[in-house]
Structure 1
Amino acid sequence: MTLAAFLGAVAVDAALAADFAAICDTGGRLQGTDSAARGFVLLQDRMAAIGAVRDAPVPYAGWRCHEARVTDIATGRDMACAPLLGAASTPAEGLVLDTRDCGRGVAGDFDAAAGQAVLARHEYPFASWTVHRRVKLAAAQAAGAAAFLIVQPEPGVGAVSGSSGRNGGAGIPALGISAEAGALLAEGRRVRITLAGEDHAATTPTLVLDLPGGGPDRVVLSAHLDGHPLGESAIDNATGLAAALCLARAAAPVVAACPRGLTLCIFGAEEWALSGSRAWLAGLSDDARARMAVNINLDSIAGGARLTALTSGFAALGPFLRGAAAAAGLPLGVHLPLMRNSDHANFADHGIPAARLVAGFDEPGSALRYLLTGADTRVLVPMQELKAATITAAALLWAALTAPDEAMARLRGAA
């Protein structure tokens, strides 16, 4: 099969739209909920129609929230809020604290934060200048803050969610709040924060579909299934899931004739500080990891006008992927430094060349600004945009499946 024929097979796959809608229908897919369970059943069924699929469950630090409230003492008003996944609990009666606006929440902003409920701004997640939420939370905790509130800057969409990254360890109560709540609390208010969470041991499915090629090496195509309860987790990450299924369907009839095979991995607990893929990779043998030629991670691939490959510090990977896109007449941006914002980071940690394909990089006005909110629904994803992104991903996948071994070996060199 030629590149043009492979891209053509992807372009005419009518199941792409149906899969995307069906995944959104399962809901926000918060790990550990019925919504996520429905999502994994759906993906397993779709993958089984392509080839033999297995579930390799892995542990993660589970957590469930029974109550989360931020109450303005003066008015008795409860603010719109969402607990950060895995956040530390308050005493049963809550914590009464003064709020302190710490602005963006970067180095030095929390210097006078001890004993207070600090506010920091949620940032557009896909930009070269972004400071991640967990970095801000760690800085607030180190400065002695008693609680952490991250403010969604976009009005009208409610609270922002996300992970605390605590994973059962030490921490402070941490919640996302709406732009409107942030505007009130930034004035300096007295609040009662109540967060009742429960840590527990948990496992997440890892769905694996392996399609052998002509040699022992594999291209690992990955996407995460879990999301957040606010909305449908449509951009993040029904887009990546639907595209991954489409690419596996197109590759299945032809991959045996390629120099390397394809392994499709659907991970859970990605929103829990990348816990699912980290545990799965750690459980593999050194030889199995050595056979992974490259990881192409599809996460939030629609919702913005441009696609960018985040290439994890592998200097040769960006030119390789950009060349693959150019061979199909398609543009592709490249960002070289490692960004720990999806499962590709765990592959990179094992020395496996890894890239995340993402839409809207350095485009803060794109629809990706609605991620982690109730606005992340299917209405944000024009189907022509998802199809175009899937075709670009197909060009990258085809190059990885068919390139000479010496070209793939060169990808392992780090910057």
Structure 2
Amino acid sequence: MAEDTLDDVADETADRIRGRLDELAPALGRTWTDDEPWTFLTELTALGSRMGGSDGERRAAEIVADGFERAGLRDVHTDPFEVTAWERGTAELRVETTARDGSTSTRRFETLALPYSPAGTVESEFVDVGYGTPEEIDDEDVEGRIVVASTTTPPGSRFIHRMEKFGYAVEQGALGFVFVNHVDGQLPPTGSLAFGEEADAVAVGVSKETGAWLREYAANTPGTTGRMDLSVDATTRPGESRNVVGRVGPDSDERLLLVAHYDGHDIAEGALDNGCGIATVVTAAGVLADADLDVGVDVVAVGCEEIGLLGAERLAETTDLDSVRAVVNVDGAGRFRDLVALSHTSEATAAVAEAVSELTRHPIETESDPHPFSDQWPFVRRGVPALQLHSNSGERGRGWGHTHADTRDKVDDRNIREHGLLIALLVAELAAADRDVPRLDGDALADAFRDAKFEPGMRAADLWPAGWE
């Protein structure tokens, strides 16, 4: 906990936040009952696929630009950029099993290719590596085999991303990768294998129920064994994505970035991931438009997060980062009741989240550990302080996200409105004239990633920055 927050919120901070609540009372009250968040989310999710580089993502950008205009942002425009787009074809997973009496049979299971899986076919034995941690992969002979790993992580451990599991397994010689959902309901998961480029091995997602059978047939499970035939049909092609940009507050030399990704996977409506997040940002922008800000805010809907943070990378590369005080990334806010603020080692941004929580009596849980798997990463690794805002379901893993079940009926738009109000207050406080937000120290940041045991997986996924050697 930062020294000047919670029980000892600095007087000037408390006075400023209370004054902001008075100033924005009409906007806050209007937002509390506004149907715009639900209408916006409905228009976005009605598109179906918003896969990065697709026509659906382009149409989503138009809806976002209209939302920015209605929120009162100025200079709304799009910034197009080239991407390597991935298009899903068919995928097939067959297992030939041999029973104790020597008889054989073939089973077919529903499966989905994971984005940036190359097209191809592999046939081999397969092994169950549990959660897919580096330690579990090291404990099995994966060379020349297909690896089967869960979407979740061990209780009490840090979150281990699929890219780490996949990258480390392939580094150890695996020929293919099967990602097993931990959520009931015959829901094969999706999720990108690489940041914007074709991966090195075929990979698919299967349901929890399918995974239970695969584990029975795995080479490292006593009893009936199986041999897997795994095939993927997919293509990569040149494509175009775009960021949508609007501005609020003064045209100051220093500014803040408020970002959220608006793309989603092609297998669902993307209501939770990240329809809620971009709807929350549009809601916050409508409140900020009524605020007397000391520092200008660029509000940016970034494309292609799901296939490699490509829109955020574009934004980082085309922005004078010396002029950026901090980045607020909204990825997962609006989904569930309470906000969670990841400060990515920045004590200053954590202090703001804690102060707003204390003064509004709305719980915001703060966590300091960094990770590289959302749109704050291109900025954090360059030393820009950040807050990543999501919400806590009380369960491990993505839940309905990245499955066919990520649909609008799962959303309670009261959460979107409330989180929009809180995020507007967070951004306004970060924009205060005398708010000091120190840059991140590169060596300390690298040590934080090492302490969180991210280094092996990030190296396997080719995400470890060269300057951190």
Whether TM-score is above 0.5 comes out as yes
Aligned-residue offset at 1:207? 0.7
Residue 316 of structure 1: SS of its match in structure 2? helix
Task: Quickly say closer, same or farther: Cα 1:349–1:411, change in 2 above 3 A.
Answer: closer
Counterpart check, 1:61 vs 2:84: yes
Matches within 5 A, 1:6-405: 6-49=27-70, 50=72, 51-74=74-97, 75-90=105-120, 94-111=121-138, 112-123=141-152, 129-165=158-194, 167-168=196-197, 171-187=200-216, 188=218, 189-213=226-250, 215-254=252-291, 257-284=292-319, 288-360=320-392, 363-364=394-395, 368-401=398-431, 403-405=432-434
Per the alignment, residue 3 of structure 2 pairs with none
* CA apart distance, 1:124: 6.5
Post-superposition Cα deviations, 1:268-307, rounded to whole Å, max 9, x if no partner, equal 11011212211221133xxx21221111111111333321
Q: State how far apart, in whole Å, the 2-side matches of 1:313 and 1:348 are.
A: 9
Q: Identity over aligned residues, as a percent?
A: 23
Query: Structure 1 residues 104-113 or 212-221, which shifts more?
Result: 212-221
Query: How many angstroms apart in 1 are the aligned matches of 2:193 and 2:418?
Result: 34
Quote the Cα distance in structure 2 between the aligned partners of 1:141 and 1:78: 24
TM-score by structure 2 length? 0.80
- For the aligned residue pairs, the C-alpha RMSD in angstroms reads 2.4
- Contact map agreement 1:325 1:395 (CA 8 A) in 2: no
Whether contact under 8 Å (2:81, 2:242) holds in the other structure is yes
**Structure-1-length-normalised TM-score:** 0.90
Superposed displacement of residue 73, structure 1 = 3.4
The structure with more radius of gyration: 2
Moved more, 227-236 or 116-125: 116-125
**CA–CA separation in structure 2 for the residues paired with 1:154 and 1:342:** 22
Structure 2: how far apart are the matches of 1:127 and 1:310? 18
Shift of 1:314: 1.2
Q: Could you tell me how far 1:412 is from its partner in structure 2?
A: 5.1
Provide closer, same or farther for how the CA distance between residues 383 and 46 of structure 1 changes in structure 2, counting only shifts above 3 A: closer
The secondary structure found in structure 2 opposite 1:108 is: helix
The alignment partner of 1:356 has SS state of: strand
Letter in 2 for 1:323: A
SS at the partner of 1:374? coil
Matched residue type, 1:25: A
Paired residues of 2:340 and 2:390 also in contact (CA < 8 A): yes
Distance 1:48 1:359 in 2: 27
The gaps in structure 1 that reach 5 residues or longer are none
Query: Could you tell me how far 1:214 is from its partner in structure 2?
Result: 6.3
Question: Structure 1 residue 108: deviation in Å?
Answer: 3.0
Q: Is the 8 A contact 2:327 2:385 kept in 1?
A: yes
* SS of 2:436 mapped into structure 1: helix
- Measure the CA separation in 2 of the matches of 1:144 and 1:119: 14
Closer/same/farther in 2, CA of residues 96 and 234 from structure 1, 3 Å limit: same
Instruction: Write the distance in 1 (CA, Å) between the matches of 2:196 and 2:335.
Output: 30
CA deviations 1:232-268 (Å, max 9, x no partner) are 11111111111111121222243xx321111110111
Q: 1:2/1:387 Cα in 2 relative to 1: closer, same or farther (>3 Å)? A: same
Question: Relative to 1, partners in 2 of residues 1:346 and 1:68: Cα closer, same or farther, differing over 3 Å?
Answer: same
For the 8 Å contact 2:249–2:294, the answer to whether it is kept is no
Between the aligned partners of 2:166 and 2:372, the Cα distance in structure 1 is 15
Q: Could you list the per-position Cα deviations for residues 335-368 of structure 1 after superposition, in whole angstroms to 9, with x for gaps in the alignment?
A: 112122210111212221111101117x2169x4
The whole-number CA distance in structure 2 between the counterparts of 1:215 and 1:7 is 25
